[in-house]
Chains A and B, each alone.
Chain A
Amino acid sequence: MRKMLAAVSRVLSGVAQKPASRVLVASRHFANDATFEIKKCDLHRLEEGPPVTTVLTREDGLKYYRMMQTVRRMELKADQLYKQKIIRGFCHLCDGQEACCVGLEAGINPTDHLITAYRAHGFTFTRGLSVREILAELTGRRGGCAKGKGGSMHMYAKNFYGGNGIVGAQVPLGAGIALACKYNGKDEVCLTLYGDGAANQGQIFEAYNMAALWKLPCIFICENNRYGMGTSVERAAASTDYYKRGDFIPGLRVDGMDILCVREATKFAAAYCRSGKGPILMELQTYRYHGHSMSDPGVSYRTREEIQEVRSKSDPIMLLKDRMVNSNLASVEELKEIDVEVRKEIEDAAQFATADPEPPLEELGYHIYCNDPPFEVRGANQWIKFKSIS
């Protein structure tokens, strides 16, 4: 009896060490899933669009919340590191646009392909890389995903083709990847993203034509965050209906701040492409809180009130959180706990990114060509030589 009591008391004291919220969670009953209404998408050359209601499971909801919060915290940490001059060069942040990267990933398979321009940290994460690798790449260390040689604009992962500096140039590349998908016959699609500024580049229209002509499984996605650097869409485009700019390509305009809307639209678009009907165009209406890059304060071409309004009314993380709490899919405390875990993960990653050594100078000449045997590259004068291997 005494042994039993001792055992019970030990177990109880163990339980008491857990934070109070955990105990609360264990005793509270959550719904498994809930149905939500989502905004109807504007359609171009389509009879039907994505559904206007969707089911969100508790598990998925928590996953999306965690992913969006991780992207948000990671971008804010990058901002901090940049201001401390630990990250140098160029840095384009995507906080505010989390629903786009997480929602797109939720609508496709890991075997599908994705390519975008330089506002790519969120996509790098959703496509499978860890925050450590991303932050270390930003700080230019050898633990980075491109071994410290790419930086903010050149991050790559499996089935994620970057990370491209010249806007618009990635779109014909995306069409090419889609051709490979069709050729390989594995039912994969390619998501080819570009911004509202790049939407006016000529090569995008060339890619539209090729994709439509050859019925490539390419989902063209315009991430419209209303400003191309400092130029608002009205001042740059004769037609701001980006989802219609594919002309002969069907299109849909999606609320890019609502992750469920993005997910459903992506599923719809992916199904369209996989059925062999050819390319489709999606315009995600979204918003970025930061300026174009870290050297842009972001308030000379838009008002602080506008930024505040979007933050308070349409913040993607807030929208998901409210939905989940109000439908009893999760509790406020549980989500707060996720926040704490995410913060810790980011802190650890930042520590790693700051402490990791830079790539050695010997590697400067690597990977110029695919070369066997190695050859020598001349430096700034004929006595500096770098070995180039690949």
Chain B
Amino acid sequence: MAAVAAFAGWLLRLRAAGADGPWRRLCGAGLSRGFLQSASAYGAAAQRRQVAHFTFQPDPEPVEYGQTQKMNLFQAVTSALDNSLAKDPTAVIFGEDVAFGGVFRCTVGLRDKYGKDRVFNTPLCEQGIVGFGIGIAVTGATAIAEIQFADYIFPAFDQIVNEAAKYRYRSGDLFNCGSLTIRSPWGCVGHGALYHSQSPEAFFAHCPGIKVVVPRSPFQAKGLLLSCIEDKNPCIFFEPKILYRAAVEQVPVEPYNIPLSQAEVIQEGSDVTLVAWGTQVHVIREVAAMAQEKLGVSCEVIDLRTILPWDVDTVCKSVIKTGRLLVSHEAPLTGGFASEISSTVQEPQFGNSISSESPWGRINRSCASQSLPPSHGSVFLSS
């Protein structure tokens, strides 16, 4: 797999550059050279078309939240919305085509159960949808807006950045639209091309006043979505669309919360920290497993979960321990959220001693093609 070979190549270069510490262990470990391709051979291989692939890795069944049921991602979202509307009589869901169940079936059955006053369609107007949602939230009702694809969120960008994010601040806490949550399908799906594949979390990460959350699985999605809806700040919840059907897990039926702004260390390790969110977490987990098996490298895998405000402490603590960091995301490289993470961990106040002495650096980003729009999804990701 391309990502593994690339990652392995990076590790080898680090070692060749005389990086210290854990690398001494590897010297005698007898690396299987046959597996690792040289950069030039790899380059030629990369020119062949590869199908983007990942395998969803379910988490073990949660035991602390009561009875669970097998659900995929869209069912987990429906369950969370169902819980919200049951608990909160002011909660309403609106967006394009949500009444019949939504184009990804996230709102199936809700209109029948809660009535057409609470689950209703809007016309085709994203700026209108979000502006309208801010208005509902300002009066104190809970507004759950759906933007049909994250690629369409840009007409609403002004409303989110200039209105929703700044409402509390500019009114001196007199007003707020904290009960607004915007849900949107996000990320590459293979055949989405330019306008059904985008991951715009980095655009919103630049805006204080809102929260941006990306789950990796059905269990995470339900807990995080419920937290977003109950959070007293406007939240954007991006749902990886390729996981809607592909991710199946045991999910608690009753409501539960997963805290925001807390990253999760999915797997502990000692040699390198791998950070990702959404679909890419599963790719990174696979990379970690292969690195352990083929290279004997112990990886610490972190799912960031909340992009804004992000859990700086967990990531920095991990990087201090391992000394190396790889951040991976679907969005393009330049200005992607990995750049924020990699720049923050290098700041001296976080107490780590990472420096970029070696020519290959100790921090790397594996992201989608810099500057290329996702028109050819499989090559775009090349993982």
Contacts and interface: CB of A to CB of B under 8 A. Distances in A.
A202 B46 CA distance: 44
A151 B155 contact: no
A380 B381 contact: yes
Interface stretch (B18-26, B206-214, B369-377): B369-377
A165 B125 contact: no
Contacts of B375: 149-151
Given A235-B121, A364-B379, A380-B3, A90 B193 contact: yes
Interface in B9-31: 9-10
Given A201-B125, A364-B372, A386-B369, A381 B2 contact: yes
A78 to B, nearest CB: 16
B195 A165 contact: yes
A302 to B, nearest CB: 13
Interface string A362-388: 101100100000000111111111101
Interface of B: 2-3, 6, 9-10, 39, 42-43, 46-49, 96-97, 100, 121, 123-125, 127-128, 151-152, 155, 191-196, 333, 364, 366-372, 375-376, 379-383
B39 A383 contact: yes
B121 to A, nearest CB: 7
Interface residue range, chain A: 35 or more
A383 B124 contact: no
A377 B6 CA distance: 17
A268 to B, nearest CB: 29
A167 B266 CA distance: 41
Contact of A380 (B96, B100, B194, B366): B366
Interface stretch (A43-51, A225-233, A349-357): A225-233
B47 A361 contact: yes
A381 B372 CA distance: 13
A54 interface: no
Given A89-B191, A200-B125, A384-B46, A378 B152 contact: no
B336 to A, nearest CB: 12
Given A380-B381, A383-B46, 13 more contacts: A150-B375, A166-B195, A202-B127, A229-B96, A229-B97, A231-B97, A361-B49, A361-B379, A364-B376, A380-B369, A380-B382, A384-B369, A386-B369
A23 interface: no
A159 to B, nearest CB: 23
Contacts of A380: 2-3, 6, 366-369, 380-383
Given A364-B372, A379-B369, A381-B6, A236 B195 contact: no
A383 B151 CA distance: 29
B369 A202 contact: no
A365 B193 contact: no
Contacts of A197: 123-124
Contacts of B380: 380
A198 interface: yes
Chain B CB within 10 Å, residue with most, of A235, A300, A364 = A364
A377 B369 contact: yes
Given A202-B127, A380-B367, A368 B372 contact: yes
Contact of A384 (B43, B49, B193, B376): B43
Contacts of A291: none
Contact of B97 (A153, A201, A230, A378): A230
Contact of A378 (B121, B151, B370): B370
A154 B195 CA distance: 11
A144 interface: no
Contacts of A228: 123-124
A145 B121 CA distance: 37
Contacts of B2: 380-381
Nearest to A146: B375
A203 B155 contact: yes
A83 B100 CA distance: 26
A311 interface: no
6 contacts: A154-B194, A200-B124, A236-B121, A364-B372, A364-B376, A380-B2
Contacts of B9: 383
Contacts of B49: 361
Nearest to A151: B193
A202 B383 contact: no
Contacts of A149: 375-376
A213 interface: no
B382 A384 contact: yes
Contact of A236 (B124, B366, B376, B382): B124
A201 B124 contact: yes
A251 interface: no
Query: Considering the complex of A and B, which 6 residue pairs feature the smallest CB-CB distances, nearest first?
Result: A381-B6, A200-B123, A380-B382, A165-B195, A378-B370, A236-B123
A90 B196 contact: yes
A168 interface: yes
A380 B330 CA distance: 9
Interface in A225-272: 228-231, 235-237
Contacts of A77: none
A88 interface: yes
Contact of B372 (A201, A202, A386): A386
B9 to A, nearest CB: 7
A150 B375 CA distance: 8
